[in-house]
Amino acid sequence: MTYATKFESWGNMMRFSGSEDLRVQKTISAIHEAFETMILETNYDKITVKALCERARINKKTFYRYYETLDFLLAEIMDKFATDFLERIKNYRVPEDLEKINREFFIYSTEQGDLYERIVCYAPHQAISKKMISHIINQTWNSASKFQELNIYEQNLLLSFIYNVGLELYRQWVNDDKKLSLEEIITLSNKLLCTGVFGFIN
């Protein structure tokens, strides 16, 4: 089973409001801090509940009180990223505001820190980030009237193009140690995303 399949349902994870008992908040914070540290140190598929609990200084029973599996914990983190970004671009329309959305994607991504970058860009973790990005793209495009005029095969091609171009350009920028400035990568990625190869080189 792939990571993308594991995260098909975004509604099954436990959600916390921030108004929980202080002990609960501290436990959840300890779990998150330990998990995030471990993802920065190793591949997700190498992390075990046992090792996570040892790092967070809790027992396994406590972990399972809040999370069914590590996948649910990861899905919670990914859901937060996706929800925050969708809120940020909620007033934009596609395809009209595609350049603005792409700009926001790069700005948002640079603001999220090492954990986000590790999940999205580190090769063994890329399957994990696919569901998060696909979820954002689907939520953005599915309500667009021009998108609905396309047949299902055309829709699939368009979504595949948006996903692969936008995300891979961000990954390449990170892999190149961000040698281009943020403004340069936004401008160049918008050229490729919106005008294709001929718009980029002309």
Cβ neighbours of residue 99 closer than 8 Å, sequence gap 6 or more? 190, 193, 194
Is the model's pLDDT at 6 over the cut of 50? no
Query: Do 141 and 159 form a contact (C-beta atoms < 8 A)?
Result: yes
Q: Please give the Cα distance from 199 to 156 (Å, whole number).
A: 23
Dump pLDDT digits (tens) for 99-113: 999 999 999 999 999
Do domains 20-67 and 74-201 share one topology? The answer is no
- pTM of the entire predicted model: 0.82
Amino acid at 33: E
Q: In which band, very low, low, confident or very high, does the pLDDT at 115 lie, cut at 50, 70 and 90?
A: very high
Is the model's pLDDT at 15 over the cut of 90? no
Query: Do 116 and 174 form a contact (C-beta atoms < 8 A)?
Result: no
CATH class given for the domain over 74-201: mainly alpha
For the chain, the structural domain boundaries read 20-67, 74-201
Q: Please give the Cα distance from 60 to 43 (Å, whole number).
A: 21
Tell me the pLDDT of the chain averaged across its residues. Answer: 86
Q: Convert 53-84 to b/e letters by CB count within 10 Å (16 or more is b).
A: bebbebeeeebeebbeebbebbbbbbbebbee
The per-residue pLDDT for 202 is: 60
Dump pLDDT digits (tens) for 41-95: 999 989 999 999 999 999 999 999 999 999 999 988 999 999 999 999 999 999 9
Q: In which band, very low, low, confident or very high, does the pLDDT at 163 lie, cut at 50, 70 and 90?
A: confident
The per-residue pLDDT for 143 is: 84
Q: In which band, very low, low, confident or very high, does the pLDDT at 126 lie, cut at 50, 70 and 90?
A: confident
Fold adopted by 20-67: Arc Repressor Mutant, subunit A (1.10.10)
Is the model's pLDDT at 9 over the cut of 50? no
| Cα 87 from chain centre | 14
Q: Please give the Cα distance from 39 to 18 (Å, whole number).
A: 24
Residue with tokens 């940020």: 88
Q: What is the dihedral of CA 65, 114, 136, 52, to 10 degrees?
A: -20
Dump pLDDT digits (tens) for 184-199: 999 999 999 988 877 6
